[in-house]
Chains A and B, each alone.
Chain A
């Protein structure tokens, strides 16, 4: 379908717009956004509620289709992708760490990582090996068989990060990864994100409204009323 260019930036947005039609006209959620994220770069996307940061993040991750503009992820131009192509793209190229509902409650830590394989390629043994390796690297080897309810908040976020890395993505999107954690744990999780992403050369966008998080990013981008100020 598309050949991923190993030298292309992780994410390139050019003139991306998102408008929602309403009964009385339209609402502009994102106005001509231009943003490039290099491989291995960590970008903090900061803005108040309703500023459009979620919309931008969703478009970059292929969850939402833009109303206009170009979106290229790792050399893949996904701007014209159909919903079906976008689903396959998300399975292949992006990792997500969500804010609240994140892990499947009735699956163990290891199985939560394997979900990615289960809904996609179903490679079996290689996927199991990768899950074990990721759990080991994230310091969760002894928690592999625990259900989410048996894990601490920080451990759950680490499992979520592990799941986001399962498909060896070009880009990982973090949606308020520390909002449910206290500040000490939040810092630890951000340190973990930073070290894991940097070590693997994977780009990350961390959506937050917490300015303290920006210290862990290579670059901070602010957004308000759908407009990026780079």
Chain B
């Protein structure tokens, strides 16, 4: 899933301080699952804004709405007749949401309520970890099912580097050295020799470095 975190409330109120009618817009997709943008968080943020409004003597009207997803136009359509009622929309979906809303409703003022962090998963309740960098050419099978692109600080294809110590990365002791883990796992699987083989430099043309990406599947396009 796409993992996001809420923007600080100070930053949010700074964004919307000149508006009177604000819609908080949630998404039932990834951001619900990572506990940042679902119906509950919509309610919590809306309440926080109302409290702020009262404390600062503003006559705020805060609406709450949660869409099935903010990354499909059909669901964005649901806001027709709603968006016009508000001066501003705070989307607490990932970065896709506010853009889809802005594109569909060109006059609306749309603000992001969360910072989109990474593609990853929950390793435990309340702890998320990056797993995918979206490089466009998946290589995890070479590395015991672990991705050095997303999980190595240097995205090394031939690791570990000299900064690996006690299974930790030199950039921070909290950061796991994925190459240490890869080596251990490959050893366990009796495939260490596969790591001896040199991996040529990766082509980054399929990644963000190749410019903004889009994808067309002809068989699905009418």
Whether chains A and B associate is no
